[in-house]
Structure 1
Amino acid sequence: GLLGTAVNVVQMVFGNMGEKSGTGVCFTRDPNTGENLFYGELLMNAQGEDVVAGIR
């Protein structure tokens, strides 16, 4: 298979400044099955750790 390096380009902002801010994470493959499809999660009024650690 093809091997590559992941690249993230993001602007860091506060995600917990109200209902118009939030945090999210996305992948080009489903992290549970490995299926080749876009997968993501979004939480409004939250910080990055909340979505990555499954806190909320």
Structure 2
Amino acid sequence: MYNELPGGLSFRNTALTAATWGQLLGCNLTMNNYYYYNYYYYYYYYYYYYYYYYYYYYYY
């Protein structure tokens, strides 16, 4: 459960969804930018998850 987000999303699914959005929007990401973009998404949602976790225990 450590890699799950509120709403049942996971790190991997979120990153793949972000990459799909990028392709649909015509970003034409290079391989280097693709990996950087996924890394940024993992990093962002890692902190989002722990913020949510702290918020939950702080108020409940």
> What interval of TM-score do these two structures reach, taking the shorter chain for normalisation?
under 0.3
Of structures 1 and 2, the one scoring higher in RCO (CA 8 A, sep 6+) is 2
Structure richer in helix, relative to its length: 2
Give the TM-score taking structure 1 as reference length.
Answer: 0.24
Give the TM-score taking structure 2 as reference length.
Answer: 0.24
